[in-house]
């Protein structure tokens, strides 16, 4: 099975922390290497779209493209940290309430909204969200049990 090299397209794996990526400063803004086109690198400012390499030897094959740039090679664990994402998605127009819960790679400089390093803390938040979701669906089920077809009188 061939897995994607882009970090956001890969299923979470703690071993991905040892993968390599290339970052360059372009106009004083950090960018990461995403892909190449005609032997020229294409960069993105979204670090989650960075192309990663399993080992340094495979990365060395493309380093010639970055000679014109001020670049650095990082391991994923230098830029991202593993965290638990626990998110309660509330009911809205065309949105069914649900809970999103999974391990993710989070940028070290990113805001810590809905992500947790500690498993116990993440589990406590998940339990709280599960209670809210149970209450929501319980209210919906109770409303359904009260439904009746009204009778009307014929002339």
Q: How far apart are CA 121 and CA 32, in angstroms?
A: 32
Which of 18, 25, 29 shows the shortest CA–CA distance to 59? 18
Please tell me which residue, 116 or 151, carries the higher pLDDT value: 116
Do the beta carbons of residue 50 and residue 6 sit within 8 Å? yes
Q: What is the pLDDT of residue 1?
A: 37
The rounded percent of the chain whose pLDDT value lies above 70 is: 97
* Residue 32 burial by Cβ neighbours in a 10 Å radius (0-12, 13-18, 19+): buried
Q: How far apart are CA 122 and CA 116, in angstroms?
A: 6
- Model-level pTM? 0.77
- Summarize the confidence of residues 15-26 as an average pLDDT: 91
Q: State how far the alpha carbon of 19 is from the alpha carbons of 27, 28, 58, 125, in Å.
A: 26, 25, 11, 30
pLDDT at residue 89 above 60?
yes
pLDDT at residue 73 above 70?
yes
Q: Give the tens place of pLDDT for each residue, 30-69.
A: 899 998 888 889 999 989 999 999 999 999 988 998 988 9
- Summarize the confidence of residues 8-32 as an average pLDDT: 89
Q: What is the pLDDT of residue 3?
A: 62
């Amino acid at each position: 099975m061939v897995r994607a090299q882009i970090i956001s397209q890969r299923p979470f794996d703690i071993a991905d922390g040892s993968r390599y990526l290339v970052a360059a400063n372009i106009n004083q803004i950090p960018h990461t290497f995403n892909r190449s086109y005609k032997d020229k690198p294409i960069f993105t400012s979204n670090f989650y779209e960075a192309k990663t390499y399993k080992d340094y030897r495979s990365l060395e094959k493309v380093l010639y493209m970055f000679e014109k740039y001020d670049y650095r090679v990082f391991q994923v664990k230098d830029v991202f940290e593993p965290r638990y994402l626990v998110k309660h998605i509330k009911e809205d127009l065309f949105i069914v309430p649900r809970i999103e819960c999974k391990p993710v790679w989070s940028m070290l400089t990113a805001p810590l909204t809905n992500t947790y390093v500690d498993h116990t803390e993440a589990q406590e938040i998940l339990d709280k969200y599960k209670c809210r979701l149970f209450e929501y669906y319980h209210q919906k089920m109770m409303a359904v049990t009260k439904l009746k077809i009204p009778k009307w009188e014929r002339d």
